[in-house]
Amino acid sequence: MKKRTIDGSAFKKMIIKGANKLDDNKELLNSLNVFPVPDGDTGTNMSLTVLSAAKEVEKSKDNTITGISKLASNGSLRGARGNSGVIVSQLYRGFATAFKGKDVATIEDIANGFVKAKETAYKAVIKPKEGTILTVATALADKAMEIKDEVTDVDEMFTKLIKHGNIVLDKTMDMLEVLREANVVDSGAKGLMTIVEGWGESLRTGEEVTINEYKASREEVDVDIFSGEIDIEFAYCTEFFIVLEEENDEIEDKLKGSIGKLGDSLVVVADEKIVKIHVHTNNPGKALEEAVKYGKVDSIKIENMEIQNEKLQNARKANKPKKPVGIVTVAQGDGIYRMFDDLGVDEIIRGGQSMNPSTEEILKSIEKVNSDNVIMLPNNKNVFLACEQAKELAKSKKIHIIYTKTVQEGISALINYIPSEDVKNVVESLEEGYAEVKSLEVTYAVRDITTDIEIKKGDYLYISDGNIEFSNKDLEEGVIQLIESKIEEDSIITMYYGEEVKKEDAEKIAKQLSEKHKECEFDVYEGRQPLYYYLISIE
């Protein structure tokens, strides 16, 4: 039987299926990162974004295409992470615009949805590039308009759209030099096609689906751990229910044995069909993995007790008087947090490379600041769009974004911070503060790649203002070479060493350089940032 329209119920299934398919393939998308550093996070960002949309539609009883598309748009926007996530949220917003006021969507409405999606996404990007997710969005929109009058079934429409979209996806490799050199397609574009393929599968089968339970990788979980003043051995207070697939008289003993190994403060309470679990652990994911062996997991609550402790210690901040200007920033690493706190930042959003904060997380931090004027320091290009979306949503405050691309730029901007009743003067002082900063980074390669230089997996990578300068296998030698290639007479060099670097090793490098370059000033600080051995600023 031909399907000539889709209603809200069908679109709900499509949204959930597309989110699940993307979540299943997020590691593949992460691996397509053309920059061979350990922060390829397109798949993670897109997955969290579309899962947020899926959660919004799943709980709705609305069967109109208007209602479901609006919920998907709102959910994806609130959950949008990174530039790729924000772009996806705008694609969903385009469909909501096209479906507004309708109970069902016809083939022509769907074609118009792809067009509106493309148009809305392009508006969100200041400098759009071909060979990206926008290219594939355009291809889908053009193809949809081309075939809307010839197809008589939505299944047929999506089959043709997916075939054409994947052809264009393969061509993205030839549209951008970085993709061609890395021999990969664009990860965001691949993510979009994964979503659309999920939509097509949903239409074909019509099967009921439930949302994947998102499982963070170890790296994602570790990013948010903050070592407070109180020694907490197991950071995550984890609670959930298991709806048992069948009665099991031994369930309490089995769970006490398996989950009990993961932490302390374990409580297991069971009746015939429901088990409640409470445990303090450093790996909530493993506790959930054990749980799903016995049934469906529900009502999950995971709280980081170290961060709760930190919030309690900083509760006094909530009692501060209203300020003329407040500041919110994004950062990773205990030492970096403390530095921003010392520089007068009101709210620090934990995130950055490998785990970009969502629009909603940014918005919540903005709302916590006791000021009508809030300045945002993203410190990462991949957080820019989420900040811009938060700015649009923050109706009660005036938001000013300082487009800092690195933590080093953010710190330098704040060192130059001149408090003032006039927010314009504050913005100008911050922008002047980082204008001349050179940002250097040292990390490692997550895979082999050959561009202008040959890079092997595990090599140390030396980066200057976003460009890989060289790689080698000797960290100390490489750091010295990188700094010496960029310093000038009377430079001020500040080194923030990461969580895998010893203080004495960082100080040894600074001492060697200062003895050779006596006209320069060298400072060393504990950053404790993950993934990056050193963050270095030169002014």
pLDDT per position as a tens digit, 446-480: 888 777 788 888 899 999 988 889 999 999 999 99
For residue 145, the surrounding DSSP H or E stretch is helix 133-147
Band of pLDDT at residue 228, cut at 50, 70 and 90? very low
Q: Are strands 460-464 and 521-526 parallel, antiparallel or unpaired?
A: unpaired
Q: Is the pLDDT of residue 261 over 90?
A: no
What distance lies between CA 189 and its chain's CA centroid?
Answer: 17
- Tokens standing for residue 247: 């009665």
What distance lies between CA 89 and its chain's CA centroid?
Answer: 13
**pTM, two decimal places:** 0.65
Q: What is the pLDDT of residue 179?
A: 75
For range 34-60, the mean pLDDT: 80
Question: Whole-angstrom Cα distance, residue 539 to residue 434?
Answer: 9
Q: Is the pLDDT of residue 496 over 60?
A: yes
Q: What is the pLDDT of residue 314?
A: 57
Higher per-residue pLDDT: 493 or 355:
493
Q: Is the pLDDT of residue 266 over 80?
A: no
Please name which of 16, 51, 45 lies closest in space to residue 32, comparing C-alpha atoms.
Answer: 45
- CA distance to 178, 459, 470, per residue, from 448 (Å): 14, 9, 14
Q: Is the pLDDT of residue 16 over 90?
A: yes
Name the strands in the sheet holding 236-244, side by side, starting at the edge strand that comes first in the sequence.
Answer: 263-270, 274-281, 236-244, 295-304
Higher per-residue pLDDT: 305 or 102:
102
Q: Report the percentage of the chain scoring pLDDT > 90.
A: 42
34-43, 190-199, 338-347, 416-425: range with highest mean pLDDT: 190-199
Question: Whole-angstrom Cα distance, residue 191 to residue 19?
Answer: 10
Question: Whole-angstrom Cα distance, residue 365 to residue 346?
Answer: 9
Question: Whole-angstrom Cα distance, residue 377 to residue 141?
Answer: 35
> Mean pLDDT of all residues in the chain?
84
Which residue type, as a one-letter code, is found at position 523? D
Q: What is the pLDDT of residue 230?
A: 39
Q: Report the percentage of the chain scoring pLDDT > 70.
A: 88
**H-only helix segments in 293-382:** 305-313, 334-342, 359-368
Q: 161-206: per-residue pLDDT in tens?
A: 999 999 999 888 888 776 776 677 888 899 999 999 999 999 998 8
For residue 24, the surrounding DSSP H or E stretch is helix 8-24
Least confident of 24-33, 71-80, 147-156, 355-364: 24-33
